[in-house]
Amino acid sequence: MSLNKQISKVLDQIDTDLIAANTLRLIKEASPTCFEEAASKLYCNILKEYGLEAELQYIQKGRPNGLGKIRGEGTGPTLLLGGHIDTIPVQGCVLPRICGRRVYGRGASDMKGSLVSMAAAAGALKKAGVKLKGDLLIAAWVDHEDPDGKGMGPKEIAGKIRTGELRIDGHHYGRAFR
């Protein structure tokens, strides 16, 4: 199958309404820094709904990173996509909602919408039957946002990479665009 046909097959699996609905679900689960557990659990469920393996990795009591995986055939590089699941406090933010084709609420663009988009893209690859040569990992880490975030979530992942517990050949850490 040509690359263009594969890309088209994957894109046919993208459901933008489902992405919006899952983003709204995740936004409604408040996750200010230090209180991320419920959102991490929900994100792992969303990863599973998209067909990925998913697990929680606790860095402290009540503070787990969420990790998803699509296993490749084992012959190629491993790619990590990731971003933070915590937010600043919700006080003063607009109420979570979908209006037209936009999702509003604390974390919609920084960065819960990006995390759901990563899960949806991975799910589309899986649903389209694309066979990856290497693993695709998706990480949603805790403890990012100021003033309380100290970076423990991404440091935990970096530590696992350094020790070889996680083998990563490439990475992209999502950033919110404003």
C-beta separation of 146 from 24 below 8 A = no
pLDDT digit string, tens, across residues 69-88: 999 998 899 999 999 999 99
Query: How much is the pLDDT for 150?
Result: 92
Is domain 3-173 classified as CATH 3.40.630.10?
Answer: yes
| 9 sits in which H/E element | helix 3-11
Residue 128: predicted pLDDT? 95
CB atoms within 10 A of CB 16: 10
Residues 122/90, Cβ–Cβ less than 8 Å: no
Tens-of-pLDDT digits for all 178 residues of the chain?
Answer: 788 898 999 999 999 999 999 999 999 999 999 999 999 999 999 999 999 999 999 999 999 999 999 999 988 999 999 999 999 998 889 999 999 989 999 999 999 999 999 999 999 999 999 999 999 999 999 999 878 889 999 999 999 999 999 989 865 555 443 3
User: Of 68, 55, 39, 64, which Cα lies nearest the Cα of 143?
Assistant: 64
What's residue 19's pLDDT?
97
Range list of β-strands (E), the chain: 53-60, 63-70, 79-84, 97-99, 102-104, 136-141, 170-173
pLDDT at 34: 95
- Give pLDDT, residue 171: 58
Which pLDDT does position 92 carry in this prediction?
A: 86
**Closest CA relative to residue 23, chosen from 102, 122, 124:** 102
At residue 14, φ and ψ (nearest 5 deg) are -80, 125
Q: How far apart are CA 49 and CA 22, in angstroms?
A: 10
Q: What residue ranges do the domains of the chain occupy?
A: 3-173
